[in-house]
C-alpha cells in the first residue's frame, strides 16, 4: 500500500511499523528550543538528567526569536539560562540576532528534506514546506528529546489538499491559505498530516510553500507537506535529496481541492484566522497600524512585494507601519536590494529580525480601538493587544498602509 508523506518520513526514521493511529519511536535529527520555553527545557533537563550530555550537540540547538534582545528581566534571565547551558554542553546558539527559529533552520540547512525536527515553536511544522517533518512541542517533550534524540509519536491520519491552477495577481499564497482556512475552518485539519499535491502546489515557490504550510497550525493540523521537487533541490543547491513525496496510491482520509485561479485577495476578520472574506467585503475599514513580517510572511519575497507597492510613496498620515524580516539574511537582502531605503522613506519602522510584531511585546501591542492589518498567522482576541487584527497578505497590508483603509490590492 502506498504511503503518505508523513508515513514515508516516519518509516525512514523509525524501526516500528508505521500506520495511522499506531504509536512509534521516532529518531530526531534536530532538536531545538527558543528563548520562550528554552529555560523550562533546561530546568526539566537538569532535574531529570543532571549534567548528562545532550544527544549530538551539533544538532541540538537554541534559537532565540521571541524577545530579541530581551526586553524584560525574566526573558534576559531565561536567555542566559539557555546560553550557559549551551556553553556547558557545546551546543549551538542562534542568538538574538539570528531571526525566527524555523526560518533559521531552513536557511542554515540545519535540516534537509526527510529529516525530523522538534522544538518549542508551534509553527515549526513550517518545515513541511521543504519536505522536513517539524513539530512544536512543550518543554517536557523537548527536554526528553534533548537527552534521548528520540520521542514517541502517534502516527497521524493524512488528508490531501490538491491545488490546481495558478494564482492570478494580485492574489498571493497568503490569500490561498486564507481561502483554505475559510473552507476548512479552525479545526479542518485537526490532528491530520496534510499533503499538498497537484500542479498548483508544484508551481509555488519555496517562500510561498512556507506561507501555506505555516497556517496548517491554524487549521489544527499536525503539519502540511509539499513534495520535494526541483524547487526544493534548487534551494538546497543541487544537493542530492531523498525523494520525499506521497506515493500515487497513498491513502487519504479526505481530499479537498482548491483551484488557485479562483483565489482573490482576502482577509481573516478579527478574532479568528478562519473568519475569511474577500478584501472587497471589508474595504474602507479604517486602519491604524500595519505589520508585515512573521514566520508566515517575513521572507524577502514578501517584504519585496510590500516595498514595490510603497516605492516612492508614503504611508497614509497617522498609519504606523512595522516591518520585521524573518532572519538576518532577509535583513541583508533588504539592505542590498535597496528595499530598506524604500521602506524607510515610505515611513516604515524596520525592526530587528525575529518574531517582533507577532510575539507579544517585542515590537509594541495594539491599543483599544486600534485596527491592525497583520501578515502574521493568528488574530485571536487579545493576542496582539486590545485592538482588532485582520490577517492579510503583504500586498494587502502594504495597500492598507498606503491608503489608511482596507483596500483591494491592484496588480
Partner 1 sequence: MDKPSKIAGRVLIVPKHNIDTDMIFHNAHLAITDIKQMGRHTFTSLDGFKDFPEKARPGDILVSGGNFGCGSSRQQAVDCFASLGVRLVVAESFGAIYKRNAINSAFPILTFPGILGAGVSEGDEVEFDLRTGEAFNRTKNASLGKGQPFSGVQWEIYQAGNLFEYGRRAGEEG
The residues binding partner 1 (CB under 8 A) are 23, 25, 36-37, 39-40, 43-44, 48-49, 55, 72, 74-75, 77-78, 120-122, 136-141, 143-144, 147-150, 152, 154, 156, 186-187, 190-191, 220, 222, 272, 359-361, 378, 380, 382-383
Complete DSSP assignment for 318-340: T-EEEE--SBHHHHHHHHHHTHH
**How far is it, in rounded angstroms, from Cα 180 to Cα 212?**
9
145-153, 178-186, 338-346, 353-361 -> range binding ligand SF4 (CB under 6 A): 353-361
Nearer to ligand SF4, 250 or 397 (CB): 397
How many amino acids of this chain bind ligand SF4 (CB under 6 A)?
11
Residue 121 engages ligand SF4 in binding (rule: CB under 6 A): yes
What does the block give as the cell for 133?
A: 517533518
Nearer to partner 1, 141 or 207 (CB): 141
Interacting residue with ligand SF4 among 100, 215, 319, 340 (CB under 6 A):
100
Q: Are 30 and 103 in contact (CB under 8 A)?
A: no
Choose the one of partner 1, ligand SF4, none that binds residue 141, judging by a C-beta under 5 to 8 angstroms depending on kind.
partner 1
Q: Are 242 and 113 in contact (CB under 8 A)?
A: yes
Nearer to partner 1, 18 or 143 (CB): 143
Q: How far is the CB of 243 from partner 1 (least distance, A)?
A: 27
Nearer to ligand SF4, 158 or 296 (CB): 296
* 226-263 burial: b if 16+ Cβ within 10 Å, else e: bbbbebbeebbeeeebeebbbeeebebeeebebebeeb
Phi/psi for 368 (5° steps) reads -55, 130
Phi/psi for 250 (5° steps) reads -60, 150
88-96, 188-196, 299-307, 355-363 -> range binding ligand SF4 (CB under 6 A): 355-363
Interacting residue with ligand SF4 among 215, 268, 295, 398 (CB under 6 A):
295
Nearer to partner 1, 33 or 343 (CB): 33
3-state secondary structure of 234: helix
Query: Strands (DSSP E) along 149-264, which ranges?
Result: 150-154, 157-164, 192-197, 223-225, 255-259
Instruction: Quickly count: other Cβ atoms within 10 Å of residue 140's Cβ.
Output: 12
**How far is it, in rounded angstroms, from Cα 379 to Cα 372?**
10
Residue whose grid cell is 491530520: 192
Interacting residue with ligand SF4 among 223, 359, 397, 398 (CB under 6 A):
359
Residue 355 engages ligand SF4 in binding (rule: CB under 6 A): yes
Residue 41 engages ligand SF4 in binding (rule: CB under 6 A): no
Residue 208 engages ligand SF4 in binding (rule: CB under 6 A): no
Q: How far is the CB of 357 from ligand SF4 (least distance, A)?
A: 8
Nearer to partner 1, 88 or 382 (CB): 382
Residue 210 engages ligand SF4 in binding (rule: CB under 6 A): no
* Strand order from edge to edge, sheet including 116-119: 92-94, 60-63, 30-34, 116-119, 133-136
272 CB burial (10 A radius; 0-12, 13-18, 19+): middle
Q: How far is the CB of 361 from partner 1 (least distance, A)?
A: 8
* DSSP H or E segment with residue 89: helix 73-89
Choose the one of partner 1, ligand SF4, none that binds residue 43, judging by a C-beta under 5 to 8 angstroms depending on kind.
partner 1
Residue 59 engages ligand SF4 in binding (rule: CB under 6 A): no
Would you tell me which residues interact with ligand SF4 (CB under 6 A)?
A: 65, 100, 121, 123, 294-295, 355, 358-359, 376-377
Amino acid at each position: 500500500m502506498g504511503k503518505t508523506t508523513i508515513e514515508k518520513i516516519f518509516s525512514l526514521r523509525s524501526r516500528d511499523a508505521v500506520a495511522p493511529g499506531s504509536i512509534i519511536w521516532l529518531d530526531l535529527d534536530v532538536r531545538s528550543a527558543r528563548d520562550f520555553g528554552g529555560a523550562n527545557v533546561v530546568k526539566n533537563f537538569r532535574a531529570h538528567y543532571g549534567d548528562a550530555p545532550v544527544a549530538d550537540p551539533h544538532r541540538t540547538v537554541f534559537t532565540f526569536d521571541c524577545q530579541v534582545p530581551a526586553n524584560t528581566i525574566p526573558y534576559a534571565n531565561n536567555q542566559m539560562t539557555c546560553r550557559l547551558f549551551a556553553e556547558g554542553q557545546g551546543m549551538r546558539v542562534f542568538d538574538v540576532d539570528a531571526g525566527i527559529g524555523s526560518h533559521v533552520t531552513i536557511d542554515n540547512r540545519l535540516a534537509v528534506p526527510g529529516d525530523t525536527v522538534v522544538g518549542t515553536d508551534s509553527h515549526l511544522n513550517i518545515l513541511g514546506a521543504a519536505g522536513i517533518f517539524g513539530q512544536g512541542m512543550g518543554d517536557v517533550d523537548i527536554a526528553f528529546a534533548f537527552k534521548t534524540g528520540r520521542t514517541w509519536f502517534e502516527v497521524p491520519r493524512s488528508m490531501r489538499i490538491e491545488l490546481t491552477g495558478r494564482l492570478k495577481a494580485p492574489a498571493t499564497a497568503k490569500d490561498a491559505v486564507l481561502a483554505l482556512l475559510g473552507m476548512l475552518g479552525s479545526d479542518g485539519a485537526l490532528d491530520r498530516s496534510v499533503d499538498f499535491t497537484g500542479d498548483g502546489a508544484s508551481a509555488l515557490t519555496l517562500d510561498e510553500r512556507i506561507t501555506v504550510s505555516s497556517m496548517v497550525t491554524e487549521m489544527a493540523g499536525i503539519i502540511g507537506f509539499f513534495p520535494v521537487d526541483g524547487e526544493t533541490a534548487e534551494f538546497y543547491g543541487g544537493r542530492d535529496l531523498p525523494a520525499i513525496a506521497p506515493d500515487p496510491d497513498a491513502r487519504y482520509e479526505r481530499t479537498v481541492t482548491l483551484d488557485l485561479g479562483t483565489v482573490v485577495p482576502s482577509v481573516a476578520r478579527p478574532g479568528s484566522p478562519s473568519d475569511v472574506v474577500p478584501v472587497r467585503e471589508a474595504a474602507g475599514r479604517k486602519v491604524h497600524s500595519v505589520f508585515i513580517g512573521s514566520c508566515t510572511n517575513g521572507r524577502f519575497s514578501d517584504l519585496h512585494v510590500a516595498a514595490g507597492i510603497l516605492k516612492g510613496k508614503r504611508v497614509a498620515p497617522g498609519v504606523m507601519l512595522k516591518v520585521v524580516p524573518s532572519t538576518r539574511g532577509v535583513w541583508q537582502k533588504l539592505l542590498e536590494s535597496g528595499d530598506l531605503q524604500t521602506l524607510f522613506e515610505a515611513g516604515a519602522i524596520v525592526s530587528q529580525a525575529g518574531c517582533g510584531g507577532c510575539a507579544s511585546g517585542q515590537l509594541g501591542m495594539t491599543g483599544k480601538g486600534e485596527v491592525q492589518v497583520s501578515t502574521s498567522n493568528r488574530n485571536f482576541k487579545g493576542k496582539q493587544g486590545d485592538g482588532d487584527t485582520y490577517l492579510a497578505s503583504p500586498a494587502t497590508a502594504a495597500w492598507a498602509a498606503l491608503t489608511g483603509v482596507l483596500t483591494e490590492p491592484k496588480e
